[in-house]
């Protein structure tokens, strides 16, 4: 597949942008080779700088659940833009978007809109620490919550020792307030609470992990975290930036029946424009400035264009049958891929939750990050490139998710399965 123009742009990008990108995963380091450049998107397709139309299963890393340039979203953003792009003064759309979120997430009595998932998780953690008066945070290995200092942490020497930074620039003391534990391991969580219980402000977890590939919670896992946090006075923070409105209209909380104390959202609620949000009971949220002492602010938070895109996206998504149709197509695609892998003798472990899925090139089940790391990333990379050359754009990393949209139809599923038949035979 011709990528001459993308190659020229990649050279230019590397002259002026750090790493040639504005977010690392876009550089394709997870699969080797150079990224293509996108010039437009419509429905299930993204068109690159060389005019190749690709069926898009990344969808901007999740936000585009309606597909690219959905008419309802485009119209809403144009209408908003014609009235002005930003005011820094309250606007009605901020209320409307918050009301829509709360309608699907009853655990959220109040919401604060911000500009990214990172900003939302960082702020939710500060609020949890302010509300509990405690410092320690527990995060799960392999879960990603954005790039705030407290979250760029890996386990110290032992399971219950305090965390150490995963990135230069994060002072050790910042990391030392974060503990880590494996996903789907309640014994590890109990050990941390035995050791540090009354110092733990919160657990933050992706209730359906999406950043180690897609890994669902084990039976009873989320309920166990809920019980541990309730018993200890720590808060349970569900980072639903990725799985929110993707694993169910009410996210993981609706799907698994576990209510978080604070919920973090992003991606889908912005419909492709920059929006993050966090929310919970008024008793906690009212601690936020200006009503309370926990400070958090943002020039463009609740921006009129972003809230217009988010409202339009949720309006279309909540139409009867839309979500269910996307989830069914996701299941159909997964079943087809699994059957093709089996018949080609390629060992895969597949996960599928709602409208997101993952194909691990692994001979073993994947229940946590350590399992995910056993996957054959080289084989995934070969599969990725063969699929891309056939016009199918999958996540450029084994440790990401496959997303579908309302625009992915039977034609796209068939094309994808045809390409996969060839890719499994040659990877
Ligand atoms: P942002 O700051 O990138 O908007 O959101 C951070 C974030 C928080 N929580 C979860 C569960 C997330 O998945 C993310 C961001 N996800 C990545 C993809 N796995 C975004 C892609 C990127 O980093 O460019």
160 has a pLDDT exceeding 80: no
291 has a pLDDT exceeding 90: yes
Rounded distance from Cα 145 to ligand 1 centre (Å): 6
For ligand 1, whether the C-beta of 61 sits within 6 Å is yes
Q: Report the CATH number of the 4-69+320-426 domain.
A: 3.90.1150.10
Report the alpha-carbon angle 352-311-321, nearest 5: 45
368 contacts 141 by C-beta, under 8 angstroms = yes
Residues 6+ apart with CB under 8 A from 81: 305
Neighbours of 145 (CB within 10 A): 25
Contacts 24+ apart (CB under 8 A), 43-48: 43/67, 43/68, 43/69, 43/405, 43/407, 44/68, 44/405, 44/407, 44/408, 44/409, 44/412, 46/393, 48/3, 48/5, 48/6
Q: List the strands of the sheet with 402-403, edge to edge.
A: 349-353, 356-360, 402-403
- To test ligand 1's pocket by mutation, which of 23, 57, 59, 118 has the most ligand atoms within 8 angstroms of CB? 118
206 has a pLDDT exceeding 90: yes
Query: pLDDT class for 148, splitting at 50, 70, 90?
Result: very high
171 has a pLDDT exceeding 80: yes
89 contacts 95 by C-beta, under 8 angstroms = no
For ligand 1, whether the C-beta of 402 sits within 6 Å is no
93 contacts 81 by C-beta, under 8 angstroms = no
Q: Cα separation of 256 and 216, whole Å?
A: 10
pLDDT over 70, % of the chain? 99
Mean of pLDDT values over 126-138 = 98
Mean of pLDDT values over 110-126 = 98
pLDDT of residue 287: 98
- Report the range of poorest mean pLDDT among 6-15, 85-94, 169-178, 283-292: 169-178
Q: How many CA atoms lie within 13 A of 87 on its CB side?
A: 14
Q: Cα separation of 192 and 198, whole Å?
A: 10
155 has a pLDDT exceeding 90: no
Residue pLDDT, tens place only, 244-273: 999 999 999 999 999 999 999 999 999 999
Residues of the chain with CATH 3.40.640.10: 71-317
423 contacts 386 by C-beta, under 8 angstroms = yes
3-state secondary structure of 295: coil
Instruction: Name the strand (E) or helix (H) holding 223.
Output: helix 221-232
Q: Considering only CA atoms, which residue is closest to atom 15 of ligand 1?
A: 146
The terminus-to-terminus CA distance of the chain in angstroms comes to 17
Mode of pairing for the β-strands spanning 38-42 and 45-48: antiparallel
Query: pLDDT class for 17, splitting at 50, 70, 90?
Result: very high
Q: Cα separation of 31 and 359, whole Å?
A: 15
Mean of pLDDT values over 85-93 = 98
pLDDT of residue 69: 98
Residue 117 CA: nearest ligand 1 atom is: 5
Domain 71-317 grouped into CATH 3.10.180.10: no
Token pair 């599969």: residue: 383
222 has a pLDDT exceeding 80: yes
Mode of pairing for the β-strands spanning 38-42 and 200-205: unpaired
pLDDT of residue 336: 98
Radius of gyration of the chain (CA): 21
Q: Cα separation of 233 and 102, whole Å?
A: 24
3-state secondary structure of 109: coil
Average pLDDT, the chain: 97
Mean of pLDDT values over 395-403 = 97
156 has a pLDDT exceeding 80: no
pLDDT of residue 159: 59
For ligand 1, whether the C-beta of 118 sits within 6 Å is yes
313 has a pLDDT exceeding 90: yes
157 has a pLDDT exceeding 80: no
pLDDT of residue 154: 85
197 has a pLDDT exceeding 90: no
Residue 266 CA: nearest ligand 1 atom is: 4
Mean of pLDDT values over 140-148 = 95
pLDDT of residue 418: 98
Q: Cα separation of 38 and 120, whole Å?
A: 27
Mean of pLDDT values over 235-249 = 98
pTM of the model: 0.98
Token pair 């149709």: residue: 325
pLDDT of residue 162: 76
Query: Nearest-CA neighbor of 114 among 89, 140, 99, 94?
Result: 94
103 contacts 255 by C-beta, under 8 angstroms = no
Mean of pLDDT values over 311-317 = 98
280 has a pLDDT exceeding 70: yes
| Count of positions (residues) in the chain | 427
Residue 400 CA: nearest ligand 1 atom is: 19
Token pair 């997101």: residue: 356
64 has a pLDDT exceeding 80: yes
Q: Cα separation of 39 and 5, whole Å?
A: 11
- To test ligand 1's pocket by mutation, which of 144, 148, 237 has the most ligand atoms within 8 angstroms of CB? 144
Which structure tokens are listed for 76? 């809403």
61 has a pLDDT exceeding 70: yes
Residue pLDDT, tens place only, 39-56: 999 999 999 999 999 999
- To test ligand 1's pocket by mutation, which of 18, 61, 276, 398 has the most ligand atoms within 8 angstroms of CB? 61
Mean of pLDDT values over 196-208 = 96
Burial class (CB in 10 A: 0-12, 13-18, 19+), 356: buried
For ligand 1, whether the C-beta of 242 sits within 6 Å is yes
Catalytic residue numbers, as ranges: 144, 239, 267
Mean of pLDDT values over 326-345 = 98
């Amino acid at each position: 597949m011709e990528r001459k123009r993308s190659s020229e742009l990649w050279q230019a990008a590397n002259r002026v942008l750090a790493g040639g990108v504005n977010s690392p995963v876009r550089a394709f380091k997870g699969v080797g080779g150079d990224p293509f450049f996108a010039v437009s998107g419509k429905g299930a397709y993204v068109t690159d700088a060389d005019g190749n139309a690709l069926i898009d299963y990344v969808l901007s890393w999740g936000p585009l659940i309606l597909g690219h340039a959905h008419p309802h979203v485009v119209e809403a953003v144009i209408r908003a833009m014609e009235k002005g792009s930003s005011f820094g003064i309250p606007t009605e759309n901020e209320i409307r978007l918050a009301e829509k979120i709360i309608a699907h997430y009853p655990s959220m009595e109040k919401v604060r809109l911000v500009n990214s998932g990172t900003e939302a998780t960082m702020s939710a953690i500060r609020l949890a620490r302010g509300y509990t008066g405690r410092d320690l945070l527990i995060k799960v290995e392999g879960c990603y919550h954005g790039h705030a200092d407290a979250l760029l942490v890996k386990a110290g020497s032992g399971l219950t020792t305090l965390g150490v930074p995963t990135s230069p620039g994060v002072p050790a003391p910042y990391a030392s307030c974060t503990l880590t534990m494996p996903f789907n391991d309640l014994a590890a969580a109990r050990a941390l609470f035995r050791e540090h219980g009354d110092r733990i402000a919160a657990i933050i977890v992706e209730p359906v992990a999406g950043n180690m590939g897609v890994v669902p919670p084990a039976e009873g896992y989320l309920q166990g975290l809920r019980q541990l946090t309730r018993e200890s006075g720590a808060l349970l923070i569900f980072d639903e930036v990725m799985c929110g409105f993707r694993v169910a209209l009410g996210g993981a909380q609706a799907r698994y029946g576990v209510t978080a104390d604070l919920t973090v959202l992003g991606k889908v609620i912005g419909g492709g424009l920059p929006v993050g949000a966090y929310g919970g009971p008024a008793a906690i949220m009212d601690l936020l400035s200006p009503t309370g002492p926990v400070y958090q602010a943002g020039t463009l938070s609740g921006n009129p264009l972003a809230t217009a895109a988010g409202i339009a996206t949720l309006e279309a998504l909540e139409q009867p049958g839309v979500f269910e149709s996307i989830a069914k197509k996701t299941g159909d695609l997964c079943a087809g891929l699994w059957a093709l892998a089996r018949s080609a003798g390629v060992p895969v472990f597949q996960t599928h939750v709602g409208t997101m899925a993952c194909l691990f090139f692994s001979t073993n089940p994947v229940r946590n990050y350590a399992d995910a790391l056993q996957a054959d990333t080289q084989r995934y990379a070969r599969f990725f490139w063969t699929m891309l050359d056939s016009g199918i754009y999958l996540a450029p990393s084994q440790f990401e998710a496959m997303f579908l949209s309302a625009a992915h139809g039977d034609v796209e599923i068939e094309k994808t399965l045809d390409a996969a038949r060839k890719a499994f035979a040659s990877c």
